[in-house]
């Protein structure tokens, strides 16, 4: 059973500040897939921070209109019999009243779920690498270019400026030149729009490019970058634990907290100029 400590995990990172760089540890939000089963049938896989999983399952069932009242649910519990021991806390079984009618096949086809596979982080990463192998990209970028990229992204968000309610994703060349910026209420949608723009122009794979996002770097965003062959993802906020795990396995570079005069580098450090001259904190 998960508790509050499962929401945080320590990962390796390199802190780049001006001309100096130092190695250390960082606390990141934990991200793991959660499979929701209804009457023994898997209906959704959601990426979440472990903890309060029964509440998440109940809320998902209500907001997706799978159930309409609390008393239709008779039990919510973690499954303890799973194929992979690593997935023990990542499967929730829901029981419903006998008189609640469900078209489970239609539900499995129509419910919007995560793009990832598997019900443990290891399986999710393996699935991502099965369709998109580790990157071999010689991109090298200066810290000041990353700061300029994030400034350009912030300035290219008219809908956010008007509403305060959208995410942005931008594709940039290695010298910081913007290729395209897109906004959307969903951060993953914004990334998909950027990749779709490149696809329509025959620009895939996107070797030597930087993907900049306005929020955090989740596993799904890292996975999308890997699939598009983008070697570096930069963000104003933090990566999640599973995004860092994927970056380390896939030779992907993540730059988090790119604001002010410094940022953190996770995964492959060699693409950030100066990060190789790092010391220990």
- Please give the Cα distance from 239 to 218 (Å, whole number): 6
Q: Active-site residue 120, yes or no?
A: no
Sheet hosting strand 178-184, strand order edge to edge: 178-184, 167-173, 209-213, 232-235, 253-259, 262-267, 8-17, 20-29, 278-280
What average pLDDT does the segment 199-216 reach? 94
Going by pLDDT thresholds of 50, 70 and 90, the confidence category of residue 269 is very high
Per the model's pLDDT, the better-predicted residue between 257 and 105 turns out to be 257
Going by pLDDT thresholds of 50, 70 and 90, the confidence category of residue 112 is very low
**pLDDT number for residue 159:** 83
Going by pLDDT thresholds of 50, 70 and 90, the confidence category of residue 107 is low
Of the candidates 111, 57, 100, which has an alpha carbon nearest to the alpha carbon of residue 79? 57
| Residues 125/128/132/138 CA torsion (nearest 10 deg) | -40
Say what the pTM is.
0.77
**pLDDT number for residue 117:** 42
Residue 203 has pLDDT above 50, yes or no: yes
- Residue-by-residue DSSP string for 21-89: EEEEEEEEE--EEEEEEETTEEEEEEEE-SS-HHHHHHHHHHHTTS-SSGGGEEEEEE----SSGGGTT
Residue 216 has pLDDT above 90, yes or no: yes
pLDDT tens-digit map of 241-260: 999 999 999 999 999 999 98
Residue 220's H or E segment, with its range, is helix 219-228
**pLDDT number for residue 276:** 72
**Interior angle at CA 133, CA 114 and CA 208, nearest 5:** 95
pLDDT tens-digit map of 11-61: 999 999 988 999 999 988 888 888 889 988 888 888 887 888 888 898 888
- Please give the Cα distance from 207 to 215 (Å, whole number): 23
Q: What is the mean pLDDT of the chain?
A: 87
What contacts 29, CB < 8 A, 6 or more positions away? 7, 8, 49, 216, 238, 240, 241
Residue 279 has pLDDT above 50, yes or no: yes
**pLDDT number for residue 207:** 97
């Amino acid at each position: 059973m998960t508790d509050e400590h499962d929401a945080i995990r320590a990962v390796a990172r390199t802190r780049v500040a001006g001309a100096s760089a130092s190695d250390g540890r960082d606390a990141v939000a934990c991200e793991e897939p959660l499979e929701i089963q209804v009457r023994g049938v898997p209906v959704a896989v959601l990426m979440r921070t472990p903890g309060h999983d029964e509440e998440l399952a109940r809320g998902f069932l209500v907001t997706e209109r799978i159930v309409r009242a609390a008393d239709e649910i008779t039990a919510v519990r973690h499954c303890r019999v799973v194929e992979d021991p690593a997935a023990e806390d990542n499967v929730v079984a829901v029981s419903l009243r006998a008189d609640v009618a469900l078209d489970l096949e239609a539900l499995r086809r129509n419910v919007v779920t995560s793009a990832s596979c598997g019900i443990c982080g290891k399986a999710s990463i393996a699935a991502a690498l099965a369709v998109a192998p580790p990157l071999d990209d010689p991109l090298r970028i200066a810290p000041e270019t990353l700061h300029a990229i994030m400034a350009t992204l912030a300035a290219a968000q008219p809908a956010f400026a008007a509403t305060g309610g959208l995410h942005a994703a931008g594709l940039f060349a290695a010298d910081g030149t913007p290729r395209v910026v897109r906004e959307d209420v969903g951060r993953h949608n914004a990334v998909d729009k950027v990749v779709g723009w490149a696809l329509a122009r025959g620009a895939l794979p996107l070797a030597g490019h930087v993907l900049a996002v306005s929020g955090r770097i989740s596993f799904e965003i890292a996975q999308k970058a890997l699939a598009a062959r983008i070697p570096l993802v930069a963000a104003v906020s933090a990566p999640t634990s599973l995004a860092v795990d994927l970056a380390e396995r896939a030779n992907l570079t993540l730059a988090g907290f790119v604001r002010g005069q410094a940022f953190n580098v996770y995964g492959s450090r060699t693409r950030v100029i100066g990060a190789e001259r790092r010391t220990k904190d």
